[in-house]
Amino acid sequence: MERALSAPGKLFISGEYAVLWGGVARVAAVGPRTGALVRRRVDGQVHVCLEEGSLSGRTTPRGVHWEREVPAGFSFVARTLDEALRLHGRESVGFDLAVAPSAVVEGRKLGMGGSACATVLAADAARFVLEEKFDALKLALVSHAAAQGGKGSGGDVAASYAGGVVRYRRYEVASLVEASSTGGFRASLEAAPQVDVWRLPVPKVALGYAFTGESASTRVLISQVEARMDEAARRAFVERSDALGLEIEDGLGGGDFRAFSEAVSEQQALLRQLGALETEAMRRVLGMASAYGCVGKQSGAGGGDGCILFAPDAKTRDSLLEGLRARGFHSLPLELEPGVHGEGQADPRLRPWLDAWR
């Protein structure tokens, strides 16, 4: 028995950093989608296949007994499978899971939440193989946080799972991570509150993305920002970010594009106050957006990756993207994507990876 599935990437529309400190984020689920293929085995073996190779182990009620130390590139998928088996809590069949690579440009990831997408795919794949009914979003949030030492907000996970544009508040997972290691994980997960995530109406403004050709470590940037800000500074930042987020959410529904643009620009100016998050390439992209009658902001932690762009209509958006490409920026129009779901056909790259383990 096997299942093909896919999940979208994400881009933050508003609320970066604020969501780490109790604020609200708006996050869009966007393409390109990432595919996965899972196949149930008759024995207890587990094989995870990624572009960089494979990792093998055996199922136990306490997770997968991996044959070697889990490499960094496998950490999110492996941790998710471990947590799924702990939720299952008993002996189970094994499975083979292949996950396609995230989209890259000239060898660099686009900054669209590849680790979150892989975590969501692994959670849904494990639920299918184990014939379970646990909350895959909660599982993915626990796994993603645990795999990075409790860092991150989970907004990327929520968007990849739910699809569309979501309004999200950080889900506290510390007690669930502890229950996973000490016992009572399933009962704790079932008793935990629902995730505070709401799908918003489809935006009436046109969306785009420009990759700056640079990448940065989100974990390092978050640590640097948090080291510079005391509790009072964080509270003030969250209050202003949440106010601007409401204006941006309203503006996504159409109406006064000038007022919407001002709110987006103010959100970017607020993020700029956190430190050197805006690179020269990002400034060039945002300057071009303004020149074309559009607006944009960094999406995510900054220091690289790219900018999400907003235009009053698709024609204006496409003109901006063409201008950005002419100046060497990888730019693409964005369409909202549904969340994780099954596919009629698997990514053709994946089946040969699994067939090697038949």
Per residue in 286-317, is it b (16+ CB within 10 Å) or e — as a string?
Answer: bebbeebebbbbbbbbbbbbbbbbbbbeeebb
SS3 250: helix
Residue extents of the structural domains in the chain: 2-200+338-355, 206-334
Do the beta carbons of residue 164 and residue 195 sit within 8 Å? no
Residue 113: predicted pLDDT:
77
- Quote the longest CA-to-CA distance of the chain: 61
2-200+338-355 fold: Ribosomal Protein S5; domain 2 (3.30.230)
What whole-number distance in Å separates Cα of residue 129 and Cα of residue 352?
19
Give Cα 7 distance to the centre of its chain: 10
Residue 107: predicted pLDDT:
59
What whole-number distance in Å separates Cα of residue 327 and Cα of residue 280?
14
Residue 106: predicted pLDDT:
56
* The CATH number of domain 206-334 is 3.30.70.890: yes
Give the side-chain half-sphere CA count within 13 A for 259. 12
Question: How confident is the prediction along the chain (358 residues), in pLDDT tens digits per residue?
Answer: 899 999 999 999 999 999 999 999 999 999 899 999 999 999 999 999 999 999 999 999 999 999 999 999 999 999 999 999 999 999 999 999 999 988 765 556 667 778 999 999 999 999 999 999 999 999 999 999 999 888 889 999 999 999 999 999 999 999 999 999 998 999 999 999 999 999 999 999 999 999 987 776 777 788 888 888 999 999 999 999 999 999 999 999 988 999 999 999 999 999 999 988 888 999 999 999 999 999 999 998 776 678 999 999 999 999 999 999 999 999 999 999 999 999 999 999 999 999 888 7
- Distances from the Cα of 187 to the Cαs of 134, 154, 177, in angstroms? 11, 22, 13
Q: Is the pTM higher than 0.85?
A: yes
Q: Before 71, cis peptide (omega within 30)?
A: no
Two structure tokens written together for 270: 């607020």
What whole-number distance in Å separates Cα of residue 336 and Cα of residue 252?
13
Bridge partners (DSSP) listed for residue 331: 210
CA angle 296, 300, 304 (to 5 degrees): 80
Two structure tokens written together for 291: 């020149």
- Distances from the Cα of 232 to the Cαs of 18, 21, 172, 208, 226, in angstroms? 13, 11, 21, 35, 12
CA angle 229, 145, 215 (to 5 degrees): 65
Rg, C-alpha atoms of the chain: 20
- Residue 299 backbone dihedrals phi, psi, to 5 degrees: -120, 110
Give Cα 301 distance to the centre of its chain: 12
Do the beta carbons of residue 177 and residue 142 sit within 8 Å? yes
